[in-house]
A and B are shown apart, each in its own frame.
Chain A
Amino acid sequence: MSDTLLLVDDEEGIRKFLGLLLRDMGYSVETAANGDEALSLIQAARPDIVLTDIKMPGMDGIELLRRIKAISPEIEVVMISGHGDMELAIQSLQLEAADFVTKPVNDEILAAALRRVSEKLAMKRQIRSYTENLEEMVREKSARVLELERELAATQVVDAVCRGMHSLGSESFPDGVLNNLPCLMAVHNRDLEVVTCNQLYLERVGDKVGRSSLEAYQAGPGADNPVRRTFETGRGQRGQAIFRDPAGNPLPMEVFTSPVSYREGQVELVLEMALDMSELTRLREELRVAQEKYQDLFEQTPCYIAVRDRDYRIVANNRRFAQDFGEGAGRFCYEAFKHRSAPCPDCSSIQTFEDGVSHPHETVVATRAGRKLHVLSWSAPIRDAKGQVVEVMEMSTDITQIRQLQDHLTSLGLMLGSMSHGVKGMLTALEGGVYRLESGLKRQDLGRIGDAAESVKQLTGRIKTLVLNVLYYAKSRALCQEEADVAEFCTQVAQVVQPKAERDKIVFSLDLGPDLGRFTADLANLSAALVNILENAIDACVADHAKPEHAISFAVRADNGAVQLHISDNGMGMDQETREKALTLFFSSKGLRGTGLGLFIAHDVVAKHGGSMSLESEPGQGTRFFIQLPRTLPAS
């Protein structure tokens, strides 16, 4: 290693002489005659040392020194200065020259100066080399540290995922969320090993932690596998796959994978979720059964059910509802249920929409056929996922029959109550009759005996009528159907009444029209009804003291479809109030001997036959009853 040296002097003799000297010292030497030449040579082949004269024409040594330091500051420059150029020499030192020698050049001094420069150069080289080595080492070490840090980070991520899955899966978590999902979960690393898994995975597939990711799959290691594919493609997979349980049985699953990467482009972990198909199928089946049950309930309940929204539109209804009110979908509830054109003012569903509570409601509705029904409705709220009431279900039970029964019982009670006075009167009179009979027998008073007997007979007759009427009213009445000749039937009725009329000195006449034909009726009840009316006429005549003579006429006419009966008397008649009440339960004209129930029941019997009954009357003048009956009973 010989340092290269460039000698710059404008004198050729010096160049030759110093050149030889320097070569002898062991340097390889180049020479230049001026600054410019020197600079070119420096560009071409960088010398280690430059030895330059200061005083030169053109570019002087100082200038050259500046230039060299500007372009290659590592080149050491030694100046040759003339005797007495001390200032220049010092200046050059300030400009980073390494040393200077004065002319005439002493070869030992020059050698020494150059030696010092060479040593300096050698030291610099060494330092450079050490520095480069050091930098190289640091780079290597840093890379290694980074590598280790990444590995640490990876381990920490895996640990965190494991802990997370564990805590989700463990009982300490409030709902054991992960365990309650019908979902197997596992985490796999790049070596296709199972890092961690959830409880369900453990149960269904077995403990695969630390083992090959592919063991869980029925198809085996060689086959296509969603976990491996995720690592290879870097993308999540979804599809069906068959797992195996610890016994080796196949478990069909729907598999979802998700890549987890924390280094660019590198999938470090794969999250695998498998949904048990059989679990899904089982849940679907449960849902289907529940839906069917609900549907059954909806249809089979013996109630009308209609579900309506806030705009009064029916969104669903059951079959029973459709039968009586028509299909509801899309119709307004008030139109379908009540044939109204506007919402009902007392709607209980509106209340339920507001307060979310069921409300009962009794109302009268009309079927498609126009039949009126009494219903009891309950409005139940139907909520959405947020708990808001979005629809109301109305369940209505037909209570028409119950109400009718109730009305019937009420009126029975009323009737019995209103009758009690009359009944008590009759019982007292009966007691009186018996007393008089006994006392007559004691006294052997035939007149009294006869009177009493007659009295008792009449009273028992009245009591009988009363009791039968009450029984008639109280029991369920299905009409018997019998066919009869109209004229014969009416004659029989007249025969019952005739003797009573005669006894009270009333002229009774039966007037049968032509071609009366035959008819079908409940003969027993109808005859009792007609007798009731006729007896009422007798009583009216008896109670009338204004006229000397009384007459009752019973006239019968018929045409194709119906039979008409007219019963008229010239008895005491009825004023307006009595007339209005005559056919109700509350008719009780106390002057008459009856209890008032007779006309009510007569009217009821006629109505059940599909017929009609009305009356006209003037107080003091008389009363006329009009009864119309169809030839056949109406279909029930």
Chain B
Amino acid sequence: MAKKILIVDDDASIRDYLTTLFEDNGYAARSAGSGADALKMLEQDAPDLITLDIEMPEMTGPWFSRTVAKGGTYDRIPVIVITGHAGLQYVIPKAVASLTKPFDQAELLRIVRETIGQ
């Protein structure tokens, strides 16, 4: 059974990109364009990993993360931050890793593999 990854980013092109990338590498990927959509998807079907953008309208990455953490249920899901702002890498203390856009594909896949396996 393929591992599930939830992609959270407001840029559609990036969502397409990551979805294709993860699917090509044997993961099942879904994407959400906002923090709100992401929360809904979490409830429907909990993923094994979340990739998270920081700057999003209405609900930023950190806000989403705090909301998830408060709920408690999804606290354990590992998060990889992927953001364009170099300085914002560390705003999610519990993130497994922080990558800046444009990111190194091989690096991202390696971290995903190390976190949730193949």
Contacts and interface: CB of A to CB of B under 8 A. Distances in A.
Interface of A: 420-425, 427-433, 435-436, 439, 448, 451, 455, 458-459, 589-591
Nearest to B34: A591
Contacts of A420: 84-85
Nearest to B23: A439
A425 B84 contact: yes
A439 B17 contact: no
21 contacts: A420-B84, A421-B83, A421-B85, A424-B84, A424-B101, A427-B101, A428-B11, A428-B17, A428-B84, A428-B103, A429-B14, A429-B17, A431-B105, A432-B17, A432-B20, A435-B17, A435-B21, A436-B20, A439-B20, A590-B55, A590-B56
B21 A432 contact: yes
B24 A439 contact: yes
A455 B20 contact: no
A451 B101 contact: no
A150 to B, nearest CB: 106
B57 to A, nearest CB: 5
Q: Which of B24, B83, B100 has the most CB of A within 10 A?
A: B24
Nearest to A424: B84
A422 B14 CA distance: 12
Contact of B13 (A423, A429, A590): A429
Interface of B: 10-11, 13-14, 16-18, 20-21, 24, 55-57, 83-85, 100-103, 105
* Dominant secondary structure at the A interface: helix
A425 B16 CA distance: 13
B102 to A, nearest CB: 4
A266 B56 CA distance: 115
A427 B57 contact: no
Nearest to A448: B20
Contacts of A424: 84, 100-102
Given A421-B84, A422-B84, A590 B10 contact: yes
B24 A432 contact: no
A327 B105 CA distance: 71
B13 A433 contact: yes
A590 B14 CA distance: 14
Contacts of B105: 431, 435
B14 to A, nearest CB: 5
A157 to B, nearest CB: 96
A428 B101 CA distance: 6
Nearest to B85: A421
A423 B100 CA distance: 12
A162 B24 CA distance: 118
Contact of A425 (B14, B21, B24): B14
Contacts of B17: 428-429, 431-433, 435-436
Contact of A427 (B10, B16, B102): B102
Given A590-B57, A591-B10, 9 more contacts: A421-B83, A421-B84, A427-B102, A428-B14, A428-B102, A429-B14, A431-B17, A432-B16, A455-B16
A416 to B, nearest CB: 13
Given A422-B84, A424-B84, A590-B56, A436 B16 contact: yes
Contacts of B55: 421, 590
Given A421-B84, A427-B101, A432 B14 contact: yes
Contacts of B10: 590-591
Contacts of A433: 13, 16-17
Q: Which of A422, A423, A424, A428 has the most CB of B within 10 A?
A: A428
Given A428-B14, A429-B13, A431-B102, A591 B57 contact: yes
A430 B101 CA distance: 11
